[in-house]
């Protein structure tokens, strides 16, 4: 191809956007105008940016693009509170993202949470996870991560006409972002962090650090690195087992970063950021759901100010990993409590549309390979 590849504006940090504008001979404040259109007005073309000179809009559209995701499939849960979208990337690979709606309750405000993917496939290969069963293909670029959020912001805004004409801190079409889709966020650190910085920035959508959660399988050194950043996001660690022997099987990277490294890294995260880590524990029948497992978990977390989220595992193709029955989940929780650890039980939202990580994509790939 002769044509130089166009830059995606969403891949540029604020300072790189300034550089781009400078290279076109324009003053720095143009970068602020462009960022405002992209992240506050959710513009999808340079033509919409009516306060930019016509010539600049033309130049920009020649050297840069504003999008690299194409939605190619959508599923909506029966209760309409969860939707999941399959996106095609510029190179034809696919990823998925979901939007989860939560009504306000006595103690919490209404939330609209987007769950983003960070990689195509995942290199970690947890045996109970649909994404882990797919081949790892590549890391996502920052723009590909950010655009998943912008997509749902536009969708919500279009549905609630007039309400979110321009983003402001009181009313955002998307209130929370969780890095819990396909892939391991901390194995794609640079892109993930650039996306976090932009999502949090006053030049970007301006989401609060508390409204952003990174879920990790527990890469110790990267958790420590995260602890040193100046945006203190929420950290969720997918634990699923409290002893190395079992965790080595459920979360294979545990062999490289065993619990003896992981837990101190989480402690450091708490000390440096003041954010209480959350531990995710998916319960699979006969695998990690006995009362003995609950006591082991309590022992592991002793003295660490944290939150435990229990979830009955989502069913997958692998028969070894069947969801624990409700009764076992409740007993597990009761045992944890007796051992001094409080926990919450999470429902698996959107189970009827296979909203669990990587599930829509694996179904999609299965369908398309047979046609
Ligand atoms: N790679 C990161 C983030 C993506 S996975 C991580 O592992 O944390 C998001 C969450 O889905 C993780 O907590 C993961 O353990 C969980 N998960 C994956 N498959 C699941 C299943 N079948 N049942 C329950 N939780 C599952
Ligand atoms: Fe990767 Fe997370 Fe799935 Fe494990 S659970 S395979 S780390 S996406």
Q: Please choose, from the candidates 110, 113, 99, the residue with its C-alpha nearest in 3D space to the C-alpha of residue 176.
A: 113
Q: CA 291 to CA 288: how far, in whole Å?
A: 9
Helix, strand, coil percentages in the chain from 3-state DSSP, rounded to 5: 40, 20, 40
| CA of residue 282 to ligand 1 center, whole Å | 8
Query: Which residue CA neighbors atom 18 of ligand 1 most closely?
Result: 129
Summarised one tens digit per residue, pLDDT across range 223-243 is: 999 999 999 999 999 999 999
For the cut 90, the answer to whether the pLDDT of residue 371 exceeds it is no
Please tell me which residue, 27 or 163, carries the higher pLDDT value: 27
In whole angstroms, what separates CA 102 from the centre of its chain?
A: 17
In whole angstroms, what separates CA 200 from the centre of its chain?
A: 14
321's enclosing H/E stretch is none
- Residue 67: exposure state from Cβ atoms within 10 A (0-12, 13-18, ≥19): middle
| CA of residue 365 to ligand 1 center, whole Å | 20
Please tell me which residue, 3 or 371, carries the higher pLDDT value: 3
The full DSSP string for 234-273 is EEEEE---SSHHHHHHHSGGGGTS-HHHHHHHHHHHHHHH
Residue among 96, 249, 280, 354 flagged as catalytic? 96
Query: Which residue CA neighbors atom 8 of ligand 2 most closely?
Result: 183
User: Above pLDDT 70, what percent of the chain?
Assistant: 90
Q: CA 291 to CA 195: how far, in whole Å?
A: 40
357 part of the active site: yes
Give the mean pLDDT of the chain. 91
Summarised one tens digit per residue, pLDDT across range 192-220 is: 999 999 999 999 999 999 999 999 999 99
User: Above pLDDT 90, what percent of the chain?
Assistant: 80
Ligand 1 atom nearest to CA at 129 = 19
Of 95-104, 262-271, 287-296, 344-353, the least confident: 344-353
Summarised one tens digit per residue, pLDDT across range 29-40 is: 999 999 999 999
């Amino acid at each position: 191809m002769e044509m130089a590849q166009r830059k995606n504006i969403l891949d540029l940090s604020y300072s790189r956007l300034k550089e781009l504008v400078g290279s076109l001979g324009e003053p720095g404040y143009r970068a602020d105008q462009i960022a405002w259109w992209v992240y506050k007005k959710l513009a999808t073309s340079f033509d919409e940016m009516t306060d930019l000179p016509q010539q600049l809009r033309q130049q920009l559209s020649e050297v840069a693009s504003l999008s690299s995701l194409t939605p190619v499939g959508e599923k909506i849960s029966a209760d309409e509170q969860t939707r999941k979208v399959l996106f095609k990337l510029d190179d034809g690979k696919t990823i998925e993202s979901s939007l989860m709606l939560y009504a306000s309750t006595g103690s919490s405000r209404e939330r609209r949470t987007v769950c983003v993917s960070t990689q195509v496939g995942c290199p970690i290969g947890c045996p109970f996870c649909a994404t882990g069963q797919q081949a790892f293909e590549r890391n996502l670029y920052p723009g590909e991560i950010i655009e998943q959020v912008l997509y749902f912001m536009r969708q919500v805004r279009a549905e609630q006409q007039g309400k979110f004409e321009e983003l402001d801190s009181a009313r955002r079409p998307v209130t929370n972002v969780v890095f819990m889709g396909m892939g391991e966020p901390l194995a794609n650190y640079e892109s993930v962090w650039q996306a976090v910085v932009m999502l949090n920035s006053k030049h970007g959508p301006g989401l609060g650090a508390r409204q952003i959660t990174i879920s990790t399988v527990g890469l110790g050194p990267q958790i420590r690195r995260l602890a040193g950043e100046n945006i203190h996001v929420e950290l969720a660690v997918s634990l699923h087992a409290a002893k190395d022997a079992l965790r080595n099987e459920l979360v294979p990277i545990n062999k490289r970063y065993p619990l003896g490294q992981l837990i101190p890294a989480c402690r450091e995260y708490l000390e440096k950021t003041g954010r209480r880590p959350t531990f995710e524990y998916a319960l699979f029948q006969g695998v990690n759901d006995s009362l003995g497992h609950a006591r082991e978990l309590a022992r592991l977390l002793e003295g660490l100010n944290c939150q435990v989220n229990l979830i009955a595992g989502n069913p997958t193709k692998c028969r070894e990993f069947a969801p624990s029955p409700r009764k076992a989940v409740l007993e597990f929780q009761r045992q944890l409590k007796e051992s001094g650890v409080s926990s919450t039980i999470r429902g698996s939202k959107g189970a009827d549309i296979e909203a669990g990580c990587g599930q829509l994509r694996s179904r999609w790939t299965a369908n398309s390979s047979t046609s």
